[in-house]
Structure formats: structure tokens, C-alpha cells
Amino acid sequence: MRMRKVRLERDWAGLPPELVTIIGEKVTTHKGYVHLRLVCKAWRRALPPNPRHLPPQGPWLLLPEIFVNYYEERDVDYSELSFYDPFRFKTHRFQRPYISDKDICGSSFGWLVLEHDHRVSLFNPITQCVFDLPHFDAPPTILISDPIDQEEHDTDMLCVLKAVLSCNPSEDGCFVVASFQSSSPSNWELGFCRIGDTHWTGLKTWDARRELLDFTCHKNLVYTADTKREVSVYDLEDLSVWTFPSKFNYNKKFHKINLVEGDLESGEPLLIRTRLYSDFELNTIFMYKWFEDRQAWCQVRNIGKGTLFLNWRHCINLQLEEGHENQLYYDARDYHDFSPDYFRVRIRRVKLECGADSLLHPNPMEEFPSQSEFPIWFTPSLIYLS
């Protein structure tokens, strides 16, 4: 008697939640964990959005778009994002139609800050969650108020130069702080909004004598460094401001200044001064920390368990697995003969205590299409908000 094979369909959604939890605990990468949560709604309910068993996630580098040579035809997909993981030597590519008509202004807590037509949104490229922020024209507007100039301003002109979040948007009281382009139709150089606000609030107006160099956010406080070589602190709750009395060394022609959150104990920021040389690579790195008892910025070579990730527009401080502490990673952009066809991104690692500088990947990285105009450090976030 001939037996017929019967194919049984597996109902993966019917697995008991405790088994799904065991499966999730076996996964050791953030990307694999995201894929598990995407299997079905039942698995998503069984697996926590922010698992504790995963190792600390080092950031990926959002690769910049390929510069197009106008003498040859080249298709560019403006809905694609390419990230490079320097710790696992992998490139992750995502098709995200939501970003196709938007400009990427920054990254913070695993979210990209996007702008289009003076509208800003937060977008998580892993989970595809979106937060819409107030329109810049919403009253009381932060844009120019002169009716004549208002008619002439171009909505395609970007306002946001850089943006950071005070915490993950899933937490209560999240602020978004942005610095604005000097060429944009804004009266302001720095402003903020809370998640759920109907308008932006200006913090710092344009002042040619005190031009903003960089800023960072920590516990509802915004720290800014300006060309007067002073650091000011803005309280986002009561809008008060005070200024650190000491100066730091800075030469506009040769130096770049970055502010970054310090250690968890002091909460005070670190000030990073880098000296540039040809091909936009770093020559010298100086780190300064504010000491309250001395009322001064003092140079340091040790940031404890932290690891710094530096961009020309942004710097972040993370605590990673053992062996990565007290180091700095930065993207070394390589221009050969200033030709757009040879644009590459390479990552360099600096051991801060001894100043040893090494090229993490000796060979130029492969080109990947991407929507971003410049490299951005991005820390993947698994938080789902919908």
C-alpha cells in the first residue's frame, strides 16, 4: 500500500511565548534580533524591544551618497541607506522609500533627523517608525518675519545644520535641539522643540561675534561652544543661560571644535579640539574636560570606559565591550586628485592614552549608494513605538 506524504504547515505564530523568548535569548546580534521581532505580531509581543542580553552595540557609519560625474549617466536610488559596521566588517543596505525626497541632517539615539520643505521628522531606519516635528513656519515661527524676504525664501533651502535628541523619543520629555544654517531663512542659530510640540522655540539668535562652533545635549541642558572661545549652558526647562568663565585654545583656520557628553558621573561635556591637514584627515587631537574646582578646561588623555566616535558635525561617547575603551574612531575621507569618482570613506582608530593612530581598514571601502550627503555615526535602535 502506497503511503502519501502529507505536508504539515508550521504555525510559527502559534509557538508558546516562553519558547519565543528562549529563541530570542540565543540571538547575539542586534540585526538578528530585529528580524525575529518582524516574524509576526505574536513574536513581537513575546520579545522585549530593548533586550538586555545583547552585547553593547557599536555604531555603524552611514555611508555618503556617490558623487555623480555629470559627464556620464548614473542611476541614483534616493531611497537607499548603506551602513558600515566597523566592528563586524559588514555593510547593511536598506530600502526606505520614506527618505527618498528628504535630506538627512543628523543622527541621535538611533534616529535619523530628516528635513524636507521646512518640515522635520525623526525616522528610525531599523524599525521604520516616524515622528513628525513642527513645521518651521508654524507660529511663532523661527523663520524670517519680513514679508518681503519671506516671499523670496526658497523652501528647498535647508534650515537644519545639525540636530540631536536629549534621549530616546520613547521616553517622556524628549527634546530635539537643532542648529540652523547661516544661509537659511532663519533668525535663529539654535532652537529646540519637545516631542508633541506645535512649534519650535528659539534659543540663540545669530551673532557674528559669537558664532556657534558645536553643541551637545545632556539632561535637558544644552552646551554650546562659540568663536569667542566660551562654553554656554542653556536650560531647556526655564530657558536660563550661563557661561563657563574660562577659554579654550582655538584657531578658526586650523582647528575644529566638537562637544560631546562626558562620563556619567560628572555629566559635564568633553571638548575635542582637532587640527586638520590635507585630505580632511586629523593631525592632532586634544581633549579637554571641565574641572569645577579649578574653574578651567584641562587637557586629559583618559575618558575612562568611554569610546568616542567623531564626525565633522557630531561626536558621541559610548561604553562598549571591554577592549574598546579610551579610544576614538573617526571617518577619514579620502579624495584622490579631488575627483568625485574616487571618493571613499575610511575609518581610523586612535588610542587616546598614547595617541597611536592606525587605519582600521587599509583598503578603500567599497562604494555603496546612499541618501546621506556626508558620513554619520549611527547607533542602531530596536525601539518600536507603534
Residue 362: give its domain's CATH number.
2.120.10
Domain membership flag for residue 6: no
CA distance 159 to 367: 29
Q: Do 30 and 167 lie in a common domain?
A: no
Co-location of 78 and 106 in the same domain: yes
Both 41 and 118 in one domain: the answer is no
Q: pLDDT higher for 54 or 273?
A: 273
pLDDT band at 214 (very low <50, low <70, confident <90, very high): very high
Confidence at residue 147, expressed as pLDDT on a 0 to 100 scale: 43
Q: Which pLDDT band, with edges at 50, 70 and 90, does 133 fall under?
A: very high
- 199 found inside a domain: yes
Instruction: Judge if 231 and 361 occupy the same domain.
Output: yes
Check whether 131 has a pLDDT greater than 50: yes
Q: Report yes or no: 254 and 201 within 8 Å, Cβ to Cβ.
A: no
Write out the DSSP string of 84-134: EETTTTEEEEEE-GGGTT-EEEEEETTEEEEEETTEEEEE-TTT--EEE--
65 and 32 co-located in one domain: no
Max mean pLDDT among 177-186, 203-212, 312-321, 344-353 falls in 203-212
Residue 47 and residue 71 in one domain: no
pLDDT band at 244 (very low <50, low <70, confident <90, very high): confident
The reported pTM is 0.79
The boundaries of the domain holding residue 236 are 55-378
In a domain, 152, yes or no: yes
Contact present, 277 and 243 (Cβ < 8 Å) = no
Is 384 inside a domain boundary? no
Same domain, yes or no: 245 and 208: yes
Q: Highest mean pLDDT range out of 41-45, 74-78, 363-367?
A: 41-45
4, part of any domain: no
Regarding whether 82 and 40 lie in a shared domain, the answer is: no
Question: Given this model, what pLDDT does residue 277 score?
Answer: 57
Confirm if 250 and 215 have CB atoms less than 8 A apart: no
Residue 257 sits in the same domain as residue 268: yes
- The answer as to whether 383 is a domain residue is no
| Percent of the residues in the chain that have a pLDDT greater than 90, as a whole number | 11
Query: What pLDDT digit, counting tens, does each position of 329-385 carry?
Result: 887 665 443 444 444 667 888 888 776 555 554 344 555 566 677 788 988 876 543
Most confidently predicted of 134-148, 292-306, 368-382 = 292-306
65 within a domain of the structure (yes/no): yes
Q: What is the pLDDT of residue 121?
A: 93
C-alpha cell at 117: 520643505
The mean pLDDT value of the chain amounts to 77
Task: Answer yes or no: do 166 and 282 share one domain.
Answer: yes
pLDDT over threshold 90, residue 190: yes
- Mean pLDDT for 143-152 is 52
Same domain as 215, residue 163: yes
Would you say 120 and 184 are in contact if contact means Cβ atoms under 8 Å apart?
A: no
Q: What's the rounded mean pLDDT across residues 145-171?
A: 69
* 2 inside domain: no
pLDDT of residue 300: 84
Residues 68 and 109 in one domain: yes
How many domains does the structure of the chain reveal? 2
